[in-house]
Structure 1
Amino acid sequence: MEDRQRALVTGGSRGVGAAVAAALARAGYRVAVHCRGDLTSAHAVRDTLPGDGHTVVSGDLADPDAAESVVTASVAALGGLDLLVNNAGRYVELPVTADSYADWQANWREMLDVNLHGAANVTWCVVHHLLGRPEGPAGGRIVNVGSRGVFRGEPNAPAYGASKAGLHSLTQSLAVDLARHGIAVAAVAPGFVNTDMVAPLLDGTTGDAIRAQSPFRRIAEPAEIAAAVAWLASPEAVWASGAILDLNGASYLR
């Protein structure tokens, strides 16, 4: 992989995805920074990455055609792909006790379409690109960003938790299937991370309770998650294929 380090990071325009893009660029990758529609933020991330040759791709991964186009555009801009990081995702709370059956169905469709179906579709396209390369897929990597909520539970967002559980299962199924092609597949399962999405929860007593979940009395920084993703993408981490790496500051042990 040393002479052809090219990565697609979905949801790369902010938060964990932006930190992953930066970590990979520092490791020598040329990176395709994906966003759903916020091109301004995606270009800002791209412009701060070390090295050159980075690009921005956009598309709503809930749309299978858009997912395919994102991969096609990444391959065209970078000259190929060696690594996929499935980071794009949505989190919307809606407990089963909510009153609206229509809202319940819509929430499940949204969570599954992006967090699971979108990741699965992008993965299919990247895997077929890897298998179709003249030099073969040697050294290919896929790293999925799952969630601690798969194990700890998501009582206020069961559709989100189920979608991430599906992503964990997909990770391990693909790890077994793709090893024969030299493609390693793993996942990280973060707890709370200090991003814009959770910022409103970190004020007052809610924030104190969230930080208290970990004996470190804090939550993760995006760079800490990104460092683990970058390691899983490295040649030395092939034997971690199939692993779901807990990144929760000992807030949940299993």
Structure 2
Amino acid sequence: MLLDFSEKTVLITGGSRGIGKACAMLFASLNADVIITYNKNLDDAERTITQLPHRGNHALYQLDQSKPKCVQRFFDKFLDHYPQLDVLVNNAGIYLEHKIEEIEFDEWQHTWQDTINTNLNGVANLCYFASRQMMHQGGGKIINISSRGAFRGEPNHPAYAASKAGLNAMSQSLAVSLAPSNISVHIIAPGFVETDMTASILNADEGEEIKKQSPFNRVAATDEVARLAAVYASEGFEFTSGGIIDINGASYLRT
């Protein structure tokens, strides 16, 4: 199967590093016009844009997706320059530790609000504007990056697990409502992935134990997630809409 995204526009949130960067690099190598968003790390975003293969109409935008008005303004600017959106990869998210036995209530509340606003509400708003454009143009693909934590729980990051569980339910609801408009919604649920966000954990003493959770004795590489996103984004995979695919190296099995 030869993947080719020529004349396709792919929007990747959190595309400056980690899974998002791997997706940006892969889609660009497959001839897509790639747009990435970043929140605070402008240096990484600019570096990623300059590294993208294929001299397409690539771009980067600053976006704080936790704020609804920012999402709306972003899409107004985006659609001024790109009249078509073929693929949205919702990758951006935050992973904040908040141990219930240690944290003060004010910080507990703040962490929950930030996490849900970014990982769930922000993604919902991105899906809203993207799907409205995709309805207008006759179809498209939405790929939402979830997590193994939505199923097995995250005792030190409960808001993160809750946000991803909500993301799964939202994505499946949208898969049903958007199918008549030829829009498919796909969910990828990785376990631990070797990224900047997880580096402090994987490089600590617990890192070896995390790797041993998988019989492969490692965590996923960002490229492995990116390749799956590219497959789902290609033509011929519309009937996988609403499905949740695990990519955790058999570290957590569910039926």
Normalised by the length of structure 1, the TM-score is: 0.94
Q: Does 1:32 align with 2:32?
A: no
- Tell me the distance in 2 between the aligned counterparts of 1:99 and 1:50: 45
> Which consecutive residues of structure 2, in runs of 5 or more, have no partner in the other structure?
none
Cα pair distance change 1:38/1:77, threshold 3 Å: farther
The aligned counterpart of 1:213 is 213
> Which consecutive residues of structure 1, in runs of 5 or more, have no partner in the other structure?
none
Q: Tell me how far 1:74 sits from its aligned partner.
A: 2.7
Secondary structure in 2 matching 1:142: strand
- Tell me the distance in 1 between the aligned counterparts of 2:127 and 2:231: 20
Q: Tell me how far 1:49 sits from its aligned partner.
A: 1.1
- Tell me the distance in 1 between the aligned counterparts of 2:205 and 2:108: 28
RMSD: 1.4
For the Cα contact (< 8 Å) 2:11–2:88, is it kept in 1? yes
Q: Does 1:73 align with 2:77?
A: yes
Cα pair distance change 1:19/1:3, threshold 3 Å: closer
The aligned counterpart of 2:15 is 12
The aligned counterpart of 1:127 is 131
- Tell me the distance in 2 between the aligned counterparts of 1:5 and 1:188: 21
**CA-to-aligned-CA distance 1:91-141 (integer Å, 9 cap, x gap):** 001122234111111111011000001101111111111223xxx323x00
- Tell me the distance in 2 between the aligned counterparts of 1:107 and 1:2: 38
- Tell me the distance in 2 between the aligned counterparts of 1:202 and 1:67: 32
- Tell me the distance in 2 between the aligned counterparts of 1:59 and 1:36: 5
- Tell me the distance in 1 between the aligned counterparts of 2:8 and 2:75: 16
State which drifts further: 186-195 or 90-99. Answer: 90-99
- Tell me the distance in 2 between the aligned counterparts of 1:58 and 1:161: 26
Cα pair distance change 1:221/1:152, threshold 3 Å: same
For the Cα contact (< 8 Å) 2:6–2:32, is it kept in 1? no
Cα pair distance change 1:175/1:13, threshold 3 Å: same
- Tell me the distance in 2 between the aligned counterparts of 1:101 and 1:231: 43
Task: Choose from 22, 46, 50 the match for 2:25.
Answer: 22
Q: Does 1:239 align with 2:239?
A: yes
Q: Tell me how far 1:223 sits from its aligned partner.
A: 0.5
State which drifts further: 195-204 or 71-80. Answer: 71-80
Cα pair distance change 1:174/1:205, threshold 3 Å: same
- Tell me the distance in 2 between the aligned counterparts of 1:199 and 1:56: 25
State which drifts further: 195-204 or 49-58. Answer: 195-204
Normalised by the length of structure 2, the TM-score is: 0.94
What is the 5 A alignment of 1:1-254?
4-51=7-54, 52-132=56-136, 136-138=137-139, 140-254=140-254
For the Cα contact (< 8 Å) 2:5–2:27, is it kept in 1? no
State which drifts further: 229-238 or 97-106. Answer: 97-106
**Which AA in structure 2 matches 1:251?**
S
**CA-to-aligned-CA distance 1:33-86 (integer Å, 9 cap, x gap):** 100122221121111111221001112111111112222333233332111111
- Tell me the distance in 2 between the aligned counterparts of 1:250 and 1:223: 18
State which drifts further: 93-102 or 184-193. Answer: 93-102
For the Cα contact (< 8 Å) 1:6–1:81, is it kept in 2? yes
State which drifts further: 114-123 or 41-50. Answer: 41-50
Provide the aligned length of Structure 1 versus Structure 2: 250
- Tell me the distance in 2 between the aligned counterparts of 1:39 and 1:103: 27
The alignment-based identity, stated in percent, is: 40
